[in-house]
Amino acid sequence: MRLALSGLILGSLMLGGIPAHAQNTTFGQGMSGSGGSGMGGIRPATAKKKAKPKVDPNMPVTHAASGASDTLMGGGEPTLPLKPLEMDDELKAMIGSDMALDEPEMGRSIAAGTERDWYLPYYAERSGDFKLRTLFPLWFERRQPSYGNPKMEDRASLFGGIYYNRRSADHHDDILFPVYWNLMDRDSRTTVIGPYVNRRQMDGDEVSETDDWLAPLYFTGTRPGNNGYTIIPPLLTYNNWDEDGGTTVFGPYFCSWETGANCDYEAADEIDRGIAPFYFWGHDEHSDYKLAPPLLWYNTNDHIEASSLTVVGPVYRKHWEDLEALHVFPFYYSLWGENERHTTLLPFFHYGHQGEQESLFVNPLFLSATGEKGEKTFVTWGYARYRGRTQLDMYTPLVWHYRDPDIKLEQEIYFPFYMSRESPREDTKVYFPLYANSKRFGVSETTFVTPFFQHSHDLRGWSTAVHPLFYVGRNGYDTHTVAAPFFWDFASRDSRTTIAFPLYWRFADKESTTQLVGNVFYKERPVRHGTDWQVHIFPLFSYGETPNGHWWNILYGLAGYTRAGKQSEIRTLWIPLELSPED
């Protein structure tokens, strides 16, 4: 077809008035007659060499740095041309050809040039062993040496735009457009006659690939390695297979398999088959299944855990090595095994037992259970009881009585008014909301009188509170006194904080003492060889001393004096003036 397009292009060029003689270019003469797209070879351009300038022997010799070019000197940053994508005509002729690389023009000769004859509508072109003739639009012929064997001629002809014929060392083609195609090369042959397609690909003397089609009724083919396909659309048939498996569809029947030569239930490692939507079955290395949707039936077997499952409508049946299950959704559930059984019939009852003693019975009226160690639980409307290592009785959700005989603990709750907890370790009574007392004998005691008054004492101290205003107490070496929101005092071994809001603030620790009384600020801290202290009467006057001097200010520098050892300075109008040691 490329040959036919070339003939059309030649005809259009002749109608456009192409000159009768070729113009030589770097590429020689091309098929188009303009000399710009020929494949006859590139004639190298010669450039005049510039004479090297004479070198002054007295000039210093420069050398490029390591890794740099020996012929280039360092300079400024490289710059791009104004139009970096612009190409000259010679470069354009070298690139951009749409000629297929596997179908190059052969036989053109740059030395012999190109001869052209043009006698409308006849056109001929000759260059070496390359010949092109056309009687547009009835006949077109191109002759050149064969690409695979230049000693043999490669002839391609187009007659009337519908019959194409080519003979060469590599091709044997006949096309009668659009009903007949027969294309042959060294390794393959393709024949198309209307809807029929036949293709053979050779690998040496053996056929490696085949395709046989009768569109749109039948398609089949093979590939190397036992691969192939067959498609028959009218019969809804599809078959595709390779070394790893395949898929077969025939109407409602399908089969998909892996690691097998064909759809063999025994040979394939993994297979799925079915007749949609009626029946499906399959297996893999560890399990198999069967499914019949119209019957609401499903069955599967797991060979690893040695279990099976069958579902028929609402009936569910499961088998394990040591357990069985039978359910009828949504009302009946049953599970049993060695020395155990569990049965549920909604909404009437559930019963189960396991081992020698453990059991559970539930119905709308009550619950009765026995534990593994013989403990018993009974629950009904308004009453619950538990008897085991401990004991519990509940009368409505408001009254609870709990007992632990091992530690002699007894606890009662009459919600929300009364709670008691008694044991050899403690005694707690709560009469909500007026009074509460909790004792840990020999350890601590806490008493509430109404929610506001609280007094506690233990081995480390005591505390008294009138919530939320007054708090006082001691815990070891720590004390606190709070009369909110005006007075706060917290003391420990190493520090003390006292606040009498808003006039008095005092913070003291091992590092320093800071105190504010109204507008009088005082701070002191221990330093080497003495104490560093200062006092400020905001904003009028401030005074301070250090181990080697002192200082004072009026209005923070309107007037002031500082002495540090033998150095001293005065401040007047906030300007410091250093005095000599003699002064």
**Is the pLDDT confidence value at 369 over 50?**
yes
**pLDDT tens per residue across span 265-318:** 777 889 999 999 999 999 998 999 999 999 999 999 999 999 999 999 999 999
Q: Residue 402 CB: number of other CB atoms within 10 A?
A: 16
Whether the CB-CB separation of 508 and 495 falls below 8 Å is answered with yes
**φ, ψ of residue 236 in degrees (nearest 5):** 50, 45
Q: How many CB atoms lie within 10 A of CB 458?
A: 13
The per-residue pLDDT for range 383-406, each reduced to its tens digit, is 999 999 999 999 988 999 999 999
What pLDDT is recorded for position 58?
Answer: 52
Tell me the average pLDDT across 532-560: 92
Give the 3-state secondary structure of 334-382.
Answer: EEEECCEEEEEECCCEEEEEECCCEEEEECCCEEEEECCCCCEEEEECC
Reduce the DSSP state of residue 98 to 3 states and report it: coil
Query: What is the structure's pLDDT at 295?
Result: 94
Helix then strand then coil, in percent of the chain rounded to 5, is: 5, 50, 45
**How far apart, in Å, are the Cα atoms of 285 and each of 54, 266, 274?**
87, 11, 19
Phi, psi of 60 (to 5 degrees): -70, 150
Q: Which residues neighbour 95 within 8 Å (Cβ) at sequence distance 6 or greater?
A: none
CB of 368 closer than 8 Å to CB of 387: no
Distance CA 245, CA 247 (A): 7
Whole-number percent of the chain with pLDDT over 70: 84
Distances (CA, A) of 325 to 313, 318, 342, 365, 417: 16, 5, 9, 27, 50
Give the containing element (helix H, strand E) for 2.
helix 2-15
Q: Which residues pair with 227 in a beta bridge?
A: 223
Residue with tokens 């079915």: 274
3-class SS of residue 511: coil
Task: Give me the pLDDT at residue 14, please.
Answer: 37
Which of 137, 161, 133, 126 has the alpha carbon at shortest distance from 11? 137
Is 413:430 a contact under the CB 8 Å cutoff?
no
Q: Say if residue 232's pLDDT is above 90.
A: yes
